[in-house]
């Protein structure tokens, strides 16, 4: 169930970092998609499957610096547009990244809404506390090539989102 707690903003950071590390061609060591599809991560034309959840003590998000030098990771924050970006600076090694668009392999409609009695609400008042979400199985493949055009890494990422009912 969805409960109040730390989150949202924390996972937005891990998701943004995941996307930056993917595009930089860095090996993804540990990544887990969210339990259910979060519409926020699909805004701006992004398909499902490009999110990374974090929550202490786990799951975590980890990537590896396999470049010949250090990497400087710098954030760019545009408060007016409410946007966060990561920029990676380091020694260029000529790698090239090819990433296919995530494919939805299957979808499952959300279950019927759940109604939970709340004795704190006045009689006859119904309050929506959670939105419904479609379930989906999603995958995409990323290929990383070295400077001499040799395939360095090919990895398929999978996300399995559970369908989620609206809760009133």
- Which of the four pLDDT bands, split at 50, 70 and 90, describes residue 6? low
Q: What is the pTM of this model?
A: 0.87
Q: Give CA–CA dist 24/93, Å, rounded.
A: 11
Total Cβ atoms within 10 A of residue 118: 11
- C-alpha R_g of the chain: 19
Helix (H) or strand (E) holding 9: helix 9-24
For 56-82, give one letter per residue: b (16+ CB within 10 A) or e.
eeeeebebeeebeeeeeeeeeeeeeee
Q: Give CA–CA dist 65/69, Å, rounded.
A: 8
pLDDT tens for each residue of 92-149:
999 999 999 999 999 999 999 999 998 889 988 999 988 899 999 999 999 999 999 9
Phi, psi of 7 (to 5 degrees): 160, -170
pLDDT at position 2 over 80: no
- Which of the four pLDDT bands, split at 50, 70 and 90, describes residue 12? confident
pLDDT at position 40 over 90: no
């Amino acid at each position: 169930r969805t409960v109040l707690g730390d989150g949202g903003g924390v996972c937005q950071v891990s998701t943004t970092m995941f996307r930056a590390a993917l595009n930089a061609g860095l090996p993804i060591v540990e990544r887990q998609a969210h339990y259910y599809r979060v519409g926020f991560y699909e805004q701006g034309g992004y398909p499902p499957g490009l999110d990374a959840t974090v929550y202490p003590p786990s799951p975590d998000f980890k990537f590896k610096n396999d470049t010949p030098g250090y990497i400087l990771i710098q954030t760019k924050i545009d408060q007016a547009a409410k946007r966060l970006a990561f920029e990676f600076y380091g020694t260029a090694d000529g790698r090239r990244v090819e990433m296919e668009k995530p494919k939805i392999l299957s979808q499952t409609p959300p279950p019927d809404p759940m109604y939970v009695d709340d004795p704190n609400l006045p009689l006859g008042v119904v309050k929506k506390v959670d939105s419904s979400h479609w379930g989906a199985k999603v995958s995409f493949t990323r290929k990383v090539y070295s400077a001499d055009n040799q395939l360095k890494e090919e990895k398929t990422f999978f996300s399995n989102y559970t369908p989620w009912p609206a809760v009133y």
